[in-house]
Amino acid sequence: MKKISLIGSTGSIGTQTLEVVAAHPDKFEVKALAARQSLDLLVEQALKFRPEMVAILDESLLPQLEQRLSGTGIEALGGMAGVIEAARISSANWLVSSLVGMAGLQPSMAALQSGKDIALANKETLVVAGQLMMEEARQRKLQVLPIDSEHSALFQCFQGQPMDRVERIIITASGGPFRKLPKEELPKLTSAQALKHPTWTMGAKITIDSASLMNKGFEVLEAHHLFGLSLEQVDVWVHPQSIVHSLVEFVDGSVLAQLGPPDMRTPISYALSYPDRWPPIWSRLELKHMKELTFEEPRWDDFPCLKLAFECGKKGGSWCAVLNAANEVAVEQFLQNRILFGDLARVIESTLEAHDPISRPTLEQLIEVDVWAREFASRAAAGTLR
Amino acid sequence: MKKISLIGSTGSIGTQTLEVVAAHPDKFEVKALAARQSLDLLVEQALKFRPEMVAILDESLLPQLEQRLSGTGIEALGGMAGVIEAARISSANWLVSSLVGMAGLQPSMAALQSGKDIALANKETLVVAGQLMMEEARQRKLQVLPIDSEHSALFQCFQGQPMDRVERIIITASGGPFRKLPKEELPKLTSAQALKHPTWTMGAKITIDSASLMNKGFEVLEAHHLFGLSLEQVDVWVHPQSIVHSLVEFVDGSVLAQLGPPDMRTPISYALSYPDRWPPIWSRLELKHMKELTFEEPRWDDFPCLKLAFECGKKGGSWCAVLNAANEVAVEQFLQNRILFGDLARVIESTLEAHDPISRPTLEQLIEVDVWAREFASRAAAGTLR
């Protein structure tokens, strides 16, 4: 029986995680749920899955949450402290970490520190604090299992294989909606144009990151930490059909890959059932998906965010915290139509240039760096206001 | 240190096996070599790898072999008895079984009975006697590792995965040179037209089997025995680029695949290094191989040999021995231009129709069935002489 705390239960990954959990009532107990602000859905989930504790990050919603759960015996908490409580609840042995953004970082760390294994969908946990997190997990002999489709693919390909015989990994990228646009059209594109992702349905932030290839850059950094591989061992291939989710090349030249139609329930299911696998087949790979699979080199120069991620990853320390924070601000500004597509990398680059790096930052220092970078990036973005 | 006996050392698989062995002088000792009739190459290999014993199947060549190895201290043997001696040589702990045709069957069984693990390239071992062989291996707790690229692919995908969670396997097929020909052109095709295989360079017999899809049928039967899967769990997809060597679908919908440019040294290397992997990279998968991968349904009705294999496999017992023998005769006749492409299935079908089945045949009975089927098929082929 897996006893799980699910942080970010009302988002795309959270709701699909609960679908997988609901398919196996004999295998899971939900001990805690937490969400940012989707009160109605959180209450609905709480009444269905009957956790011991529910937390809402937006503390102003706590009184309503308390009221709607009164008489159920379910404890209601609010704010980051409440979400952290939910993440470290003693009755759970697993955290599913799918709260989006920096808000996912502290609950993930708290879960490790309280001895829980983690199924991880929150990117910032590894992008910003990958070194700290993986050290913590290693010392406590805890597992950090990926939920992201690319990392799940890699993790599946590594099973039963000698990790010291990995030559390189190849992370696939859809290439986003602007994959084929001429270079000169890219700078002036707007968020409305970026929000039409060809193959996956995702939140707005990650869809923009997918268009700029920063999402792929983050995935490169996550894989680097999660699997203990150098960045020289990580490659990226554009694969517009999003059927091959990633590949692993071994020292004998053999390549393993994981495939499937785009459906997050498959990697979620694997993270929750690992090392076993459980039915049902959430999405079936059929010949119609395989009619034509193509692969190509990313346009490194035209989509500079991917290169920025590699550069920050190689420098390590606090650099990726700046990369992440500046990108988050830039994407916000882009979504509010205050900057254009070409400004994304420019805002990030100028923030990186102003950064005073810390080589082995603590979690507190990373959070401080994050705050500084957000302020700086906001000013940088304002400088490019229309 | 792996101490190997290599049966079929002068063929395509045999010579490539020795390439892999030569790349790791610290990891292998060659204890015995055997070949059908390529005397010069066998002698050359013997002088290079210095086995204790060398055998030649064509007994008429034994005096020459003895003469050319005199003074080397290498024992020379001839005939099937000699090849079996080489396969069961007590100083070896592995047999690499790559002698083509029925001749590979008895040496493979002898190796198991003398306690050796097997790296298997000989198809007949599993097609004809899969049940007996795998029972023998199971009882003696010996490994039978595949060398065929498709079975190696499947075997690699199974590593670290729960075998009782396999939903199905998908064996890929190049589709052969006649993949796109209209149905009405198929019956009159000649062996010269079949011998141009699009992606793999192989012997004549297997190239014809590849054109008729019987090769794929045999691989289906081999996979069925090797991995203990029902024939309902085996599917075949045509993949003309021969880059994805096969796929495994699990009960959660996730699919793993193994990829690589067509190069037999990669699966040979894996069988020899398993569960480890050793450099070098014999062939590297590059973006140029991945520009466009396509998959399609086999033309079941136009290439009936594939269906015949499934049918014989489901019936079990002695049926696949008949299938194999009749096919071998039909292909011989086809290569000698005595029958046409459309006659292949007809010769096999008429032999199957005349067969009096044995449900649990012994090895001796399978060999008797093989002899009967060859005689019958020869007569059936003669009936369709031009």
Helices (H), A141-243: 149-158, 191-194, 204-212, 214-226
Q: Which secondary structure element, helix H or strand E, spans residue B49, and what is its range?
A: helix B39-49
Asked if B259 and A260 come within 8 Å (Cβ–Cβ), the reply is no
Asked if B295 and A297 come within 8 Å (Cβ–Cβ), the reply is no
B336 burial type by CB count under 10 A (0-12 exposed, 13-18 middle, 19+ buried)? exposed
User: What part of A 147-186 touches B (C-beta under 8 Å)?
Assistant: 156-162, 165, 167
Determine the pLDDT at residue B206: 86
Instruction: Please report residues of B whose CB lies closer than 8 A to that of A167.
Output: 281
User: At which of B102, B130, B146 does a domain end?
Assistant: B146
Asked if A259 and B256 come within 8 Å (Cβ–Cβ), the reply is yes
Does a structural domain hold residue A52? yes
Asked if B254 and A273 come within 8 Å (Cβ–Cβ), the reply is no
Rounded distance between C-alpha atoms, residue A262 and residue A289, angstroms: 10
Cα angle vertex A248, ends A244, A252, to 5°? 135
Determine the pLDDT at residue A386: 40
Phi, psi of A242 (to 5 degrees): 50, 40
Q: Nearest C-alpha of chain A: how many angstroms from B28? A: 17
Does a structural domain hold residue B276? no
Q: Which 3 state secondary structure label does DSSP give A50? A: coil
Q: Give me the sign of the Cα torsion angle A347, A352, A356, A359.
A: positive
Kindly report the average pLDDT of chain A as a whole number.
96
* Closest Cβ opposite residue A161 in set B159, B237, B252: B159
User: At which of A146, A161, A193 does a domain end?
Assistant: A146
Determine the pLDDT at residue A384: 56
Asked if B253 and A275 come within 8 Å (Cβ–Cβ), the reply is no
Asked if A306 and A176 sit in the same domain, the reply is yes
Rounded distance between C-alpha atoms, residue A159 and residue B50, angstroms: 38
Rounded distance between C-alpha atoms, residue B372 and residue B325, angstroms: 9
Mutation choice for A interface testing from B255, B286, B294 by most A CBs within 10 A: B255
Q: Cβ of A263 under 8 Å from any chain B Cβ?
A: yes
CA nearest neighbour of A313 among A228, A248, A212, A220: A220
Cβ(A268)–Cβ(A147) below 8 Å: yes
Does a structural domain hold residue A207? yes
**How many angstroms separate the Cα of A16 from the Cα of each of A10, A20, A272, A279?**
9, 6, 12, 15
Does a structural domain hold residue A273? no
Determine the pLDDT at residue A285: 98
Q: Cβ of A281 under 8 Å from any chain B Cβ?
A: yes
* Closest Cβ opposite residue A273 in set B252, B278, B290: B252
Q: Which two tokens stand for residue B48?
A: 């290079």
Residue of A nearest to B236 (CA): A287
Asked if A125 and A165 sit in the same domain, the reply is no
**How many angstroms separate the Cα of B66 from the Cα of each of B57, B72, B92, B178, B247?**
13, 10, 22, 45, 47
Half-sphere exposure for A234 (CA within 13 Å, toward CB) = 29
Range of the domain at B14: 2-146
Q: Cβ of B270 under 8 Å from any chain A Cβ?
A: yes
Asked if B159 and B106 sit in the same domain, the reply is no
* Closest Cβ opposite residue A257 in set B161, B257, B287: B257
CA nearest neighbour of B268 among B34, B134, B140, B94: B94
CA B69 to chain centre: 30
What's the CATH code of the domain at B128? 3.40.50.720
Does a structural domain hold residue A322? yes
The pLDDT of residue A380 is above 90:
yes
DSSP E strands, B49-176: 53-56, 75-78, 94-97, 117-120, 144-146, 166-173
Q: Which two tokens stand for residue A270?
A: 């694997």
Mutation choice for B interface testing from A244, A255, A292 by most B CBs within 10 A: A255
- A384 or B41: whose pLDDT is higher? B41
Q: Which two tokens stand for residue B132?
A: 């007996």
Q: Cβ of A64 under 8 Å from any chain B Cβ?
A: no
Q: Cβ of A288 under 8 Å from any chain B Cβ?
A: no
Does a structural domain hold residue B304? yes
Does a structural domain hold residue B9? yes
Rounded distance between C-alpha atoms, residue A179 and residue A197, angstroms: 11
Instruction: Quickly list DSSP for B178-197.
Output: TTTS-GGGGGG--HHHHT--
Asked if B137 and B163 sit in the same domain, the reply is no
Task: Give me the sheet containing A117-120, strands edge to edge.
Answer: A75-78, A53-56, A28-35, A2-7, A94-97, A117-120, A144-146
Q: Which secondary structure element, helix H or strand E, spans residue B367, and what is its range?
A: helix B363-382
Global ipTM: 0.96
Phi, psi of A228 (to 5 degrees): 65, 40
Encode chain B (386 residues) as per-residue pLDDT tens digits: 999 999 999 999 999 999 999 999 999 999 999 999 999 999 999 999 999 999 999 999 999 999 999 999 999 999 999 999 999 999 999 999 999 889 999 999 999 999 999 999 999 999 999 999 999 999 999 999 999 999 999 999 999 999 999 999 999 999 999 999 999 999 999 999 998 765 555 678 889 999 999 999 999 999 999 999 999 999 999 999 999 999 999 999 999 999 999 999 999 999 999 999 999 999 999 999 999 999 999 999 999 999 999 999 999 999 999 999 999 999 999 999 999 999 999 999 999 999 999 999 999 999 999 999 999 999 999 985 44
Tens of pLDDT, residue by residue over B288-319, are 999 999 999 999 999 999 999 999 999 999 99
Tens of pLDDT, residue by residue over A282-324, are 999 999 999 999 999 999 999 999 999 999 999 999 999 999 9
Asked if B276 and A167 come within 8 Å (Cβ–Cβ), the reply is no
What's the CATH code of the domain at A321? 1.10.1740.10
Q: How many residues does chain A have?
A: 386
* Closest Cβ opposite residue A255 in set B253, B259, B293: B259
Q: Residue B171 region, left (φ>0) first, then alpha (ψ -120 to 50), else beta?
A: beta
Residue of A nearest to B262 (CA): A254
Asked if B165 and A259 come within 8 Å (Cβ–Cβ), the reply is no
Q: Cβ of B300 under 8 Å from any chain A Cβ?
A: no
Asked if A290 and B252 come within 8 Å (Cβ–Cβ), the reply is no
Strands B53-56 and A234-238: unpaired
Asked if B256 and A251 come within 8 Å (Cβ–Cβ), the reply is no
Binned at pLDDT 50, 70 and 90, residue A268 comes out as very high
* Closest Cβ opposite residue A237 in set B280, B287, B294: B287
Q: Count how many domains chain B has.
A: 3
* Closest Cβ opposite residue B294 in set A260, A267, A291: A291
Instruction: Please report residues of B whose CB lies closer than 8 A to that of A255.
Output: 258-260, 285
CA A288 to chain centre: 29
Rounded distance between C-alpha atoms, residue A257 and residue A245, angstroms: 7
Asked if A253 and B276 come within 8 Å (Cβ–Cβ), the reply is no
Determine the pLDDT at residue B385: 44
Q: Cβ of A277 under 8 Å from any chain B Cβ?
A: yes
Asked if B184 and B128 sit in the same domain, the reply is no
Instruction: Please report residues of A whose CB lies closer than 8 A to that of B160.
Output: 158-161, 275
Asked if B251 and A281 come within 8 Å (Cβ–Cβ), the reply is yes
B274 burial type by CB count under 10 A (0-12 exposed, 13-18 middle, 19+ buried)? middle
The DSSP 8-state label assigned to residue B34 in this structure reads: E
Q: Which two tokens stand for residue B318?
A: 């002695």
Asked if B250 and B321 sit in the same domain, the reply is no
B230 burial type by CB count under 10 A (0-12 exposed, 13-18 middle, 19+ buried)? exposed
The pLDDT of residue A200 is above 60:
no
Does a structural domain hold residue A280? no
CB atoms within 10 A of CB A90: 11
User: At which of A101, A119, A146 does a domain end?
Assistant: A146
Buried b / exposed e over B353-385, threshold 16 CB at 10 Å, is: eebeeeeebeeeebbebbebbbebbbebbeebe
Asked if A100 and A186 sit in the same domain, the reply is no
Asked if A175 and A259 sit in the same domain, the reply is yes
Tens of pLDDT, residue by residue over A317-343, are 999 999 999 999 999 999 999 999 999
Phi, psi of B299 (to 5 degrees): -85, 80
Tens of pLDDT, residue by residue over A19-75, are 999 999 999 999 999 999 999 999 999 999 999 999 999 999 999 999 999 999 999
* Closest Cβ opposite residue B253 in set A167, A253, A284: A284
Half-sphere exposure for B359 (CA within 13 Å, toward CB) = 0
Tens of pLDDT, residue by residue over A103-157, are 999 999 999 999 999 999 999 999 999 999 999 999 999 999 999 999 999 999 9
CA nearest neighbour of B186 among B62, B71, B346: B346
Amino acid (one-letter) located at A54: V
Rounded distance between C-alpha atoms, residue B233 and residue A331, angstroms: 47
- Whether the full predicted model's pTM is greater than 0.90, yes or no, is yes
Asked if A92 and A113 sit in the same domain, the reply is yes
CB atoms within 10 A of CB B254: 27
User: What part of B 85-104 touches A (C-beta under 8 Å)?
Assistant: none
Asked if B168 and B304 sit in the same domain, the reply is yes
Asked if B307 and B158 sit in the same domain, the reply is yes
Buried b / exposed e over A25-62, threshold 16 CB at 10 Å, is: eeebbbbbbbbbebbeebbebbeebebbbbbbbeeebb
Determine the pLDDT at residue A204: 86
Asked if A199 and A227 sit in the same domain, the reply is yes
Determine the pLDDT at residue A383: 85
